[in-house]
A and B are shown apart, each in its own frame.
Chain A
Amino acid sequence: KAGVTQTPRYLIKTRGQQVTLSCSPISGHRSVSWYQQTPGQGLQFLFEYFSETQRNKGNFPGRFSGRQFSNSRSEMNVSTLELGDSALYLCASSLDTGGDTEAFFGQGTRLTVV
């Protein structure tokens, strides 16, 4: 069974640009969550999608958005990039929503904003 796949693995962008990250969940998983990981800040929750609907949202500005497609694949978009957006972005998929089933993480996308 294929794991969670994130593309691309690495990205370098310039301030002010926008970026789209992709996440393909494990087959059969309908919930996809996104996290931002930075040194010392742990895993900060961005949002969760389930059956194409945003179920939960973290405390990030509106520049961060996402969506989920009918095949459960999800994309995350960051507009007007800032230097502080440099981080590892992880997505995680799980069978169901509710947050009480195992979350399987992808390898992450390392975003560097210069």
Chain B
Amino acid sequence: GENVEQHPSTLSVQEGDSAVIKCTYSDSASNYFPWYKQELGKRPQLIIDIRSNVGEKKDQRIAVTLNKTAKHFSLHITETQPEDSAVYFCAHTGANSKLTFGKGITLSVRP
């Protein structure tokens, strides 16, 4: 019930295009959905998060949408740049208050 699945596992886009990364979860009690970015050799860092009482949140080129009925949430990056290349982790907090991460998606932005 606490697992979170990420799709796809790798994604390659042309600079300037948009990228969408989707995660699905099964715990209906999940109430917090953060996204973390990990650049090569660096620590994961929070880039955006959303709570279950909100359907969408935007911060400049990054947005997150949440569909509680379908139990999925997505990260949207517009006007991608080479510095967006990294591993992106979705996560969620379920009824047990444990922050559980997905396996990560490697995003490559081609110049």
Count residues of A near B (Cβ-Cβ below 8 Å).
23
B99, A33: Cβ atoms closer than 8 Å: yes
B104, A42: Cβ atoms closer than 8 Å: yes
The interface bits of chain A over 92-104 (1 if a CB of B lies within 8 angstroms of the residue's CB, else 0) are: 0000011110110
Chain B residues touching A, range: 20 to 34
- Contact residues of B: prevailing secondary structure: strand
B-side contacts of A45, CB under 8 Å: 98-101
A-side contacts of B43, CB under 8 Å: 90, 105-108
Distance, CA A72 to CA B35, complexed state (A): 25
Distance, CA A105 to CA B38, complexed state (A): 10
The interface bits of chain B over 51-91 (1 if a CB of A lies within 8 angstroms of the residue's CB, else 0) are: 10000000000000000000000000000000000000101
A-side contacts of B104, CB under 8 Å: 42-43
Distance, CA A107 to CA B42, complexed state (A): 7
Known: A90-B43, A107-B43. A56 touches B98 (CB 8 A): yes
B97, A35: Cβ atoms closer than 8 Å: no
A35, B98: Cβ atoms closer than 8 Å: no
**Interface of A toward B, CB cutoff 8 Å:** 33, 35, 40-45, 48, 55-56, 58, 90, 97-100, 102-103, 105-108
Query: What 8 pairs across the A-B complex have the smallest Cβ distances?
Result: A42-B103, A99-B93, A100-B32, A43-B101, A99-B99, A105-B43, A56-B98, A99-B97
